[in-house]
C-alpha cells in the first residue's frame, strides 16, 4: 500500500467513523425490540444495556466482560407439553424399535410404543434417564449430530404442528441480537443436552457451538477401523440444572455473567450467581402467562415450574416478563 493510499484510507476512515457514530446512535434510538410492548420489562432491559455500554460512565463494562447467559427451554423456545428433547427421545424410541424387539416387554419402552406416554413416564426420573440414555448413546458424536439435524429439520410439535425451531420466541431473538449489537457475548446455559442444541443454535439463535452450555453424557475417544471417533457412552457426565448452572458457567465460560435470563426454578441459582456479582448486573424471568398464544403455567407446573424463583424475583427486584402483556408477538411467524 502506498503512503498516499494509506493517507487516503486514514482520511476516509475518520469520516466513516464519524458517520458510524451517528449511525450507531440512530440505531440505538430506533427500536431494536419491536415485539416488546413499551413497559417496565422492556424499559429495564434498555436501561441496563445503555448503562453498561456508556463509555466513561461509572457502570461501563468492557466488551470482554459483557457475558449474557440464557436458559433455553421455556426461555428461548417452548417447553410444553413436554421438553422438546424428551419428544425427540420418544421419536427416537419409535425409530429404533425395529432393532429392539425386546422393548415389547420392557418398560418404559413397552408403554411408549403403545403410545401411552403417561404410563411410560410414571416411573419418574429413572424412566426418563433410561429413555434418554438409550436414545442418546451408543453412536459417535458425528452420528448423533446428524440424527439431531434430521429430526430438527422434519419433526413437528404435537400441538402446533410446526417445526420445533419455529417455536422460538421472536422477542427473545430480538433481545439476543440487541445484546450482541451492543457488544455482548451471548451464551446458552440449559438443562437440556449440550449436543442436542449445538447442531441448530447457530442457525436459529446466532449462538455458535462453543457458546452452548448444557447437560452431557460421557464420551470416549477411540479408534474405529483406524479412524479416531468419540463414542457416546450411556453415562451422565454433568447435569446443568439448578445449582449445576453456576458450576457449568464457571466451567465453560470462566467468568461471571452480567446478565441472566431464565423462566423456571431451574434457573434460580444461575440468576443468583449472576446478580450477586460485584459490578452492574441484570436478571430476568420470563413468566408464561399467555394460554392463548402459548401456555400459562408457573408454581404448580411439573415442566418449567416457577415458584421459588418468582418469590426471589420479587424480593430482589429482578425483571419479570409477563408474556401476555409484554410481548406483542410470541413466535416469529403465525401458525
Using alpha carbons, list the distances in angstroms from residue 135 to 85, 88, 96, 104, 167: 11, 9, 8, 16, 23
Size of the site for a second copy (CB under 8 A): 49
Q: How far is the CB of 242 from a second copy (least distance, A)?
A: 9
Q: Is 221 in the site for a second copy (CB under 8 A)?
A: yes
Q: Residues 6 or more apart from 251 whose CB is under 8 A from it? A: 213, 238
- DSSP for 106-153 reads STTHHHHHTT-HHHHHTT-HHHHHHHHHHHHSSSBHHHHHHHHHHHHH
C-beta of 100 vs 149, nearer to a second copy: 149
Q: Residues 6 or more apart from 74 whose CB is under 8 A from it? A: 263, 264, 286, 288, 303, 304
137 CB neighbour count, 10 Å cutoff: 16
C-beta of 284 vs 330, nearer to a second copy: 284
How far apart CA 287 and CA 323 sit, in angstroms, is: 6
Q: Is 180 in the site for a second copy (CB under 8 A)?
A: no
Segment interacting with a second copy (CB under 8 A) among 75-83, 156-164, 220-228, 283-291:
220-228
Q: How far is the CB of 22 from a second copy (least distance, A)?
A: 6
**Per-residue string for binding with a second copy, 116-145, x by CB under 8 A?**
-------------------------x----
C-beta of 123 vs 138, nearer to a second copy: 138
* Three-class DSSP category at 14: helix
Scanning residues 272 to 291, which ones bind a second copy (CB under 8 A)?
A: 272-273, 276
Q: Is 19 in the site for a second copy (CB under 8 A)?
A: yes
Residue with grid cell 476512515, as numbered in its chain: 13
Q: Residues 6 or more apart from 331 whose CB is under 8 A from it? A: 162, 166, 167, 168, 169, 170, 293
How far apart CA 335 and CA 77 sit, in angstroms, is: 15
Among 174, 195, 267, 294, binds a second copy (CB under 8 A): 195
Scanning residues 32 to 61, which ones bind a second copy (CB under 8 A)?
A: none
Q: Is 220 in the site for a second copy (CB under 8 A)?
A: yes
Q: How far is the CB of 159 from a second copy (least distance, A)?
A: 30
Q: Which residues of 104-128 are buried (b: 16+ CB within 10 A; e: fewer)?
A: eeeebbebbbeeebeebbeeeeebb
Segment interacting with a second copy (CB under 8 A) among 126-134, 215-223, 293-301, 305-313:
215-223
C-beta of 263 vs 269, nearer to a second copy: 269
Query: Which residue ranges make up the site for a second copy (CB under 8 A)?
Result: 1, 5, 8-9, 12-13, 15-16, 19-20, 22-23, 26, 64, 67, 141, 185, 194-195, 198, 202, 208-212, 216, 219-222, 227-228, 230, 237, 243-244, 246-247, 250-255, 269, 272-273, 276
Amino acid at each position: 500500500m502506498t503512503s498516499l493510499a494509506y493517507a487516503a484510507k486514514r482520511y476516509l476512515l475518520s469520516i466513516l467513523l464519524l458517520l458510524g457514530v451517528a449511525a450507531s446512535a440512530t440505531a440505538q434510538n430506533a427500536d431494536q425490540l419491536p415485539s416488546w410492548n413499551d413497559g417496565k420489562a422492556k424499559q429495564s432491559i434498555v436501561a441496563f444495556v445503555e448503562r453498561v455500554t456508556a463509555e466513561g460512565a461509572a457502570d461501563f463494562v468492557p466488551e470482554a466482560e459483557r457475558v449474557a447467559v440464557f436458559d433455553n427451554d421455556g426461555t428461548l423456545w417452548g417447553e410444553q407439553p413436554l421438553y422438546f428433547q424428551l419428544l425427540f427421545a420418544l421419536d427416537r424410541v419409535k425409530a429404533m424399535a425395529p432393532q429392539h424387539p425386546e422393548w415389547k416387554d420392557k418398560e418404559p419402552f413397552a408403554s411408549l410404543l403403545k403410545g401411552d406416554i403417561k404410563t411410560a413416564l410414571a416411573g419418574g426420573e429413572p424412566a426418563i434417564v433410561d429413555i434418554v440414555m438409550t436414545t442418546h448413546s451408543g453412536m459417535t458424536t458425528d452420528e448423533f449430530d446428524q440424527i439431531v439435524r434430521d429430526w430438527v429439520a422434519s419433526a413437528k410439535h404435537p400441538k402446533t404442528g410446526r417445526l420445533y425451531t419455529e417455536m422460538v420466541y421472536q422477542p427473545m431473538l430480538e433481545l439476543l441480537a440487541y445484546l450482541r449489537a451492543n457488544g455482548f457475548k451471548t451464551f446458552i446455559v440449559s438443562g437440556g443436552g449440550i449436543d442436542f442444541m449445538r447442531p441448530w443454535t447457530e442457525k436459529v439463535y446466532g449462538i455458535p457451538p462453543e457458546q452452548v452450555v448444557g447437560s452431557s453424557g460421557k464420551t470416549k475417544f477411540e479408534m474405529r477401523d483406524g479412524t479416531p471417533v468419540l463414542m457416546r457412552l450411556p453415562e451422565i457426565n454433568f447435569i446443568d440444572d439448578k445449582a449445576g448452572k453456576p458450576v457449568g458457567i464457571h466451567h465453560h465460560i470462566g467468568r461471571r455473567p452480567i446478565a441472566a435470563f431464565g423462566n423456571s426454578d431451574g434457573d434460580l441459582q444461575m440468576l443468583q450467581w449472576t446478580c450477586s456479582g460485584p459490578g452492574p448486573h441484570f436478571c430476568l424471568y420470563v413468566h408464561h402467562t399467555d394460554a392463548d398464544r402459548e401456555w400459562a403455567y408457573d408454581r404448580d407446573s411439573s415442566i418449567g415450574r416457577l415458584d421459588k424463583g418468582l418469590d426471589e424475583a420479587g424480593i430482589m427486584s429482578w425483571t419479570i416478563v409477563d408474556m401476555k402483556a409484554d410481548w406483542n408477538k410470541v413466535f416469529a411467524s403465525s401458525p
